[in-house]
Amino acid sequence: MIETVVLHRRHRGRYQHIVRVLLAHGLGGFIAPFDPRGRRSAQRQAGEDIPRSSRIRAAHLRRAFEELGPTFVKLGQILSTRVDILPPVYIEELEKLQDNVMPSDSDAIIAIVEEQLGGRIDDHFATFERDPIASASIGQVHAATLHDGRSVVVKVQRPQVREIIQQDLSILADVARFAEGRSAFLRRNHVSDLVREFSWTLRAELDYHNEARNMQRFRRAFGASEGIRIPRVVDELTTSRVLTMERVDGIPLDDIPAIREAGHDPTALVDGVILMLARGILDIGLFHADPHPGNFAVDERGSLIVYDFGMVGSMDERLRERLLLLIVAVTDRDSQRVVDEIARLGVVEAGWDRKAMERDVSHLIGQYVGVSLSQLPISMVIDDVMGMMRRYQLRLPPELSLLAKTATMAESLARSLDPDINVFETVGPIIRESMRQFYSPAYWKERLKYRPLEVALLGAALPGHIQRILTRIDANDLAFHVEVDELQTTMRTLERLVNRISLAVITAAGYVALALVYLGLRPALGSWQGVVMVLAVIPLVVFTITVVLGIRRNGR
C-alpha cells in the first residue's frame, strides 16, 4: 500500500498527464494495476468506442508515446528491439515511431549555445542559421559557418528536455518496481532491468560528448577506408548540450535515381553499409544502431557518408567471441553448435527442451541460410525467430536485442538498394578474417596474460577456503539457502487468502454472537441494549462488504 501511495504522489502532475494520455487512447489496461483507488470506470469510458484488436491497440500505444514526448518516443524505439518480449504487431507499430517534432524557438536555442560555449554566438560562428535543417525530440540541427570559412552543422539540445527526461525516467523506474510486484510476466522478463538499461542509454544520449567520442572511434576504425566518410568533430565547440561537426553533404541513400545519375553503383554502397556494420561488430565492438536511409548519403566521389551516432551499440570482447562462434555455427549449418552457443550466451531458462530447440534451429537454418533477399520474406523470418524465442522463453541480453534490431534494419536497407544481395556472402570474408584471431599467438598471449597470476592467487587462497568449509561442517553449521521461483508471490497470495478467510470467520462469528444475544435478551429498539446491538451490526456489515469487494476485485 505504501508503494502505491509513493507511486501516485511522486511527480504528481506528470504522472496524471501520462494516465490521461493512456486513457484517451483506450489504453487504460496499461495503468489500471497502478491506480491506487482501483477505479475501472474511467478506463471503460475512455476506451469503449475504440476497437480492441491488437493492431489498433498497438497503433494507439505508438500515438500515445509520440504524444508523451521524447522519453516515451525513445522508450518505444528501444522496445521495438525487444523481439523476445513484445508480440510482432507491437514491434511493427513501434518501429514507425517518428522522432520529428516542431522546432524550438530559435532565440532559446541560441541562448543555450551561448551559455554552453560562453560569450556571444558571433564570437564562435561567422554565420548561424536560425531555422533548423532537422528537428528531433531531444535536439535540433542548425547550419553554421566558422570564422575560418569551414561549413559546419551544430546539434543543440532542446530547452528543459533534460529535466523532462529525468522526471520521466524516475516515473518509469517507480512503475517498473511496482509492476513487478503485481505481474509474474513482468518479473520473468525483468522489466526493472529493462528500464534501468533504457535509462543508461537515454542519459548517455543526453550527453553529446558521448556522441562525439563515438564519431571519433568510428573515424579511427574506418579512417583509412576510401569508401566510408564520417564527419569530423569540432572539439573546441562541443559540450554536453552542443555538438559541432563538419558539414558533409551528399545524395540521400534512398534516392536511387539520383545515385545512378551521378554514376554511382547502389550495390557497392549497400556492400559498404553491411561491411561497416560487420567490421564494427566483430573488430571494434561498436556498431551504428540506427541504420535507416536518412543516416546515410553518397558524396561526389562515391564514398558512403554516415550521420548521427547518437544511438550506438557496444559489445565487449567475450560477447563478440561468443557471437562470432554462433555465426560460424550458423554458416556451417550445425544446429547442435548453434544451440550450444545460445546456451553459453545465458539466454535460456531452466528446464528448456534442448532436443526440440535443435530441431527448430535446424529447420530455420535449412530454410533461410544461403537464400538471396529477393527470395527471402523477411517478415516470415522475423515471425519464425520471435516464435521460437517465446516458445523457449529466450531472454536476449540488451546488446544482442539492439544488434538483432540493427541487423533487421540493415537488411531492409540492403533489400531496398539491391534485392538480390546475399548478406552471408558479403560478410563471409569479414567473419573468416575475424576467425583467424583464434589461431593468432598474439591473441592467446593477451588472453592468457593474467591467468598465471589468477591461478597463483586461487592456489594460495584455496586451503583457507577448504579449512573454513570443513570447520563449519564439523560444527554442523553449514547451511544452504534455496530460492524458489514465484515463492514470494505465492506467499503474498496465501497471506491475502488467510486474511480474507480470517475476516470472514470473524464476521460470521459476530453475526452468530449477536443472534444469540438477541434471542436471549429480546431488547426493544429504543432501549440501550437495542442501540448497542445496532452499533455492533455496523462493523459486521463493513467487514462483509470488504470481503465481497475483495472477491469481486480479483474476479473470483
Q: Is the pLDDT of residue 94 over 70?
A: yes
Same domain, 418 and 494: no
Q: How many domains does the chain have?
A: 2
What is the pLDDT, as a whole number, of residue 236? 94
Same domain, 393 and 514: no
Percent of the chain, pLDDT > 90?
13
Confidence tier at 132 by pLDDT (50, 70, 90): very high
Please provide the DSSP assignment of 323-371 as one string: HHHHHHHHHTT-HHHHHHHHHHTT-PPTT--HHHHHHHHHHHHHHHTT-
Print the domain residue range for 351. Answer: 251-448
Q: Is the pLDDT of residue 485 over 60?
A: no
Interval 348-392: pLDDT, tens:
666 677 888 888 888 887 777 666 555 655 556 656 766 676 677
At what angle are helices 54-68 and 12-24 packed, to 10 degrees? 150
DSSP H/E element including 18 = helix 12-24
Same domain, 347 and 400: yes
* All residues at 6 or more sequence positions from 523 whose CB lies less than 8 Å from its CB, including other chains: 529, 530, 533
Final residue of a structural domain among 425, 448, 471: 448
Measure the CA–CA gap between 329 and 341, rounded to whole angstroms: 8
* All residues at 6 or more sequence positions from 46 whose CB lies less than 8 Å from its CB, including other chains: 23, 24, 25, 26, 28
Interval 33-56: pLDDT, tens:
444 443 333 333 333 343 446 778
Kindly state the average pLDDT of the residues 310-321: 82
Measure the CA–CA gap between 467 and 108, rounded to whole angstroms: 68
Residue 509 lies in a domain: yes
Tell me which residue has cell 534485392.
Answer: 419
What is the pLDDT, as a whole number, of residue 42? 37
- Give which of 212, 221, 204, 215 is closest to 284, Cα–Cα: 221
DSSP H/E element including 530 = helix 528-553
Confidence tier at 208 by pLDDT (50, 70, 90): very high
Catalytic residue among 84, 174, 271, 290: 290
What is the pLDDT, as a whole number, of residue 48? 39
Nine-digit cell at 206?
543526453
Same domain, 257 and 401: yes
Helix or strand or coil: residue 521? helix
What is the pLDDT, as a whole number, of residue 454? 73
Residue 329 lies in a domain: yes
Measure the CA–CA gap between 511 and 547, rounded to whole angstroms: 15
Residue 91 lies in a domain: no
Residue 45 lies in a domain: no
Nine-digit cell at 540?
459486521
Give yes or no: 290 in active site: yes
CB-based contact 245:312 (threshold 8 Å): no
Final residue of a structural domain among 428, 448, 468: 448
Residue 481 lies in a domain: no
DSSP H/E element including 296 = strand 296-298
Rg for the chain, CA atoms, rounded: 31
Same domain, 518 and 380: no
Residue 541 lies in a domain: yes
Helix or strand or coil: residue 459? helix
Tell me which residue has cell 451490526.
Answer: 537
Phi and psi torsions of 379, nearest 5°: -60, -35
Same domain, 414 and 501: no
Same domain, 314 and 370: yes
Measure the CA–CA gap between 246 and 366, rounded to whole angstroms: 47
Final residue of a structural domain among 448, 470, 502: 448
Same domain, 432 and 546: no
Kindly state the average pLDDT of the residues 59-78: 82
Same domain, 320 and 396: yes
Cα 214-222-211 angle, rounded to 5 deg: 10
Residue 393 lies in a domain: yes
Same domain, 281 and 400: yes
Residue 420 CB: number of other CB atoms within 10 A? 10
Q: Is the pLDDT of residue 62 over 60?
A: yes
Residue 355 lies in a domain: yes
Measure the CA–CA gap between 58 and 461, rounded to whole angstroms: 56
- How do beta strands 228-229 and 304-306 pair? parallel
Which amino acid is located at 251 in the chain? Answer: I
Same domain, 397 and 512: no
Same domain, 425 and 491: no
Query: Which of 3-17, 350-364, 449-463, 524-538: highest mean pLDDT?
Result: 350-364
Interval 408-459: pLDDT, tens:
777 777 777 777 776 767 777 877 777 777 777 777 677 777 677 777 777 7
CB-based contact 152:159 (threshold 8 Å): no
What is the pLDDT, as a whole number, of residue 95? 75
More confident residue, 306 or 364: 306
